[in-house]
Amino acid sequence: MIEDSPLLTSLFDGPVVARVCASTPLTTGLYPEEAKQVASAVTVRRAHFTAGRLSAHAALDALGIPSGPILSDAARAPVWPTGVVGSITHTDGFCGAVVALRTRYRGLGIDAEQRGHATADLWGEILTNAELRWLREQPASQRAEIATIIFCAKEAFYKCQYQVTRSWLGFEGAEVEVRDQVFLLRLLHKVGDLASGKEFSGRFAVLSPIIVAGVAIDAV
């Protein structure tokens, strides 16, 4: 079942259309070209891919854009119709998509992660030295959740900036400051036409099983 998502919509200031898939079907509903891209994938991957694509199709329909196959490029990023930006996320129990017109945004990014996913063994890979120092000042019982918020924010921004720059950005390329339901992300080096030191603000929500984050780059 595909549903509207006030949660995902609330992560953005401007007009976006968001849809979530309340279940994770295997392959039903995909365009043949889409199904071919995950034909050899494991069952869980196919289920998540399908739920994400069905959410994206419904979001595009609601935006008034004719739906068609949403294929993946060489970097596994969705290829959106001309004039559209968007993002898809999927994790166990949550799959969704958000889309908007390119006249409003240059890029959109959302990410969903299992709450507490970023355990201590991952911190050295996903956190800068400054983030790690700050995290270790937080209560021990909250560190995995806070690290997951940072991880989620960076993943959402990666998807967002890729639509603008078509460039790789690693975890070490940006630094995140977590506030109350809001995060501030600062680039640590230039990416495409996005200058080093440029800051972006996004929102996140902590639900019972998951954390979701969203960020956008406005149209110039």
Residue 196 has pLDDT above 80, yes or no: yes
CATH of domain 2-103: 3.90.470.20
pLDDT number for residue 24: 60
pLDDT tens per residue, range 15-42: 999 999 977 665 588 999 999 999 999 9
pLDDT on residue 177: 98
Q: Tens digit of pLDDT for each residue in 120-173?
A: 999 999 999 999 999 999 999 999 999 999 999 999 999 999 999 999 999 999
Indicate the average pLDDT of the chain.
95
How many CB atoms within 10 Å of residue 82? Answer: 6
Please compute the mean of the pLDDT values over residues 178-186 and round it to a whole number: 96
> Are 181 and 205 within 8 A, CB to CB?
yes
Quickly list DSSP for 62-110.
HHTPPP----B-TTS-B-PPTTEEEEEEEETTEEEEEEEETTTEEEEEE
pLDDT at 3 over 90: yes
| pTM of the entire predicted model | 0.96
Instruction: Give the start-to-end residue ranges of the domains of the chain.
Output: 2-103, 115-210
Choose among 104, 97, 94: nearest CA to 80: 97
Which pLDDT belongs to residue 220?
Answer: 79
* Residue carrying structure tokens 């399908």: 50
pLDDT at 48: 93
- Vertex 27: Cα angle to 82 and 166 (nearest 5): 35
How much is the pLDDT for 26? 56
* Higher pLDDT pick, 27 / 66: 66
